[in-house]
Amino acid sequence: MKALWLENQKLSLRHDLPVPEPRPGYALVRVRLAGICATDFEMTRGYYPFTGILGHEFVGEVVAAPDGSAWMGKRVVGEINIACGECATCTRGYPTHCERRAVLGIRAVHGAFAEYLELPLKNLHEVPDAVPDDIAVFCEPLAAALEITQQVHIQPGERVLLVGAGRLGQLIAQVIALTGCALQAVIRHDYQRKILEQHGIETISEGMVRTGGWDKVVEVTGSPGGFNLARRAVRPGGMIVLKSTFKDDVQVNLSSIVVDEITLVGSRCGPFEPALALLASGQVDPSVLISARYPLDEALEAFRYAGEPGVLKVLLAPAD
């Protein structure tokens, strides 16, 4: 089959890969659509040593399931962490933190930039008919956005600042706005402002960030500059949610975190079912974030385009 292959931080399009043979408890999924995200770019820069097929955001169709015939033909999205189910972390009920986990297109298993992928049946979620493919493909990043509201109680009226209004930041903004808090987003580009304002979300420039002006700050840039801005914006006793991995180390004055009693919350993958429900109800609308759709054959060009400034979500369609 065809797939986008990562090796030694270099991407190549390959046509010589075998279609996976689903193991017991697994499904073979024909990929209908996959999304390129910031993590994929970080993988090409060596964020995690990985050789194989990249990609973890997808919607597909189950075409084989040796012991899951009820799944045959179903349109699905899939959770990306494959837990061992046996380690101490798994048995205590934290499978997404499994010490031996594999992660679709990130760690130890091939990903979604391919004609087919393989995932455990228990990772799959059926997509409601009301959710078309180009919306369903946002389920994984939307679930990650929802993880924030799962971890942190954001109260109506609270002052919340979003730092970073790119691909993931836009979804986070829509999710946080649903809480009824007083949300503002720091924007760097006009296209970010336009999309946020379409959803009734107030935007400010970096120069308008007041020291200690917000109860909670969500950091989505994964850059030292973004963290420092978040640190400055949060009030004493407030909270910073870290929603993006940091490629570089960040210098933090930990004494100031102690003295100001700041809570730091790390936040990663989130719940799929509520994400699908939000997409089905239209309460979150990611369609405005789609910048382009490419056939898998043009995946290298798609990656180049996805890295251009102002480009949000780029989709890969294996069947196009």
Which residues bind to Zn ion, rule: CB under 5 A?
37, 39, 83-84, 87, 90, 98
Q: Which is nearer to Zn ion, 108 or 259 (CB)?
A: 108
Q: Which is nearer to Zn ion, 86 or 197 (CB)?
A: 86
The residue among 182, 140, 151, 184 whose CA lies nearest residue 274 is: 140
CB 248, min distance to Zn ion, A: 20
Q: Which is nearer to Zn ion, 231 or 313 (CB)?
A: 313
CA angle 298, 43, 247 (to 5 degrees): 135
CA angle 136, 244, 317 (to 5 degrees): 30
Q: Which is nearer to Zn ion, 36 or 233 (CB)?
A: 36
Q: Which is nearer to Zn ion, 84 or 290 (CB)?
A: 84
CB 232, min distance to Zn ion, A: 28
Which is it for strands 263-266 and 234-242: parallel, antiparallel or unpaired?
Answer: parallel
Question: Environment class of residue 189 by beta-carbon count within 10 Å: exposed (0-12), middle (13-18) or buried (19+)?
Answer: exposed
| Measured distance CA(203)–CA(64) in Å, rounded | 47
CB 99, min distance to Zn ion, A: 6
Q: Which is nearer to Zn ion, 119 or 234 (CB)?
A: 119
Which is it for strands 26-36 and 116-120: parallel, antiparallel or unpaired?
Answer: antiparallel
CB 50, min distance to Zn ion, A: 14
141, 87 in Cβ contact below 8 A? no
CB 87, min distance to Zn ion, A: 3
Token pair, residue 273, equals 């079912």
CB 138, min distance to Zn ion, A: 10
Q: Which is nearer to Zn ion, 111 or 226 (CB)?
A: 111
| Measured distance CA(170)–CA(173) in Å, rounded | 5
Order across the sheet with 3-7: list the strands.
10-14, 3-7, 52-53
CB 172, min distance to Zn ion, A: 13
Ramachandran region, residue 212 (left: φ > 0; alpha: ψ -120 to 50; beta: rest): left
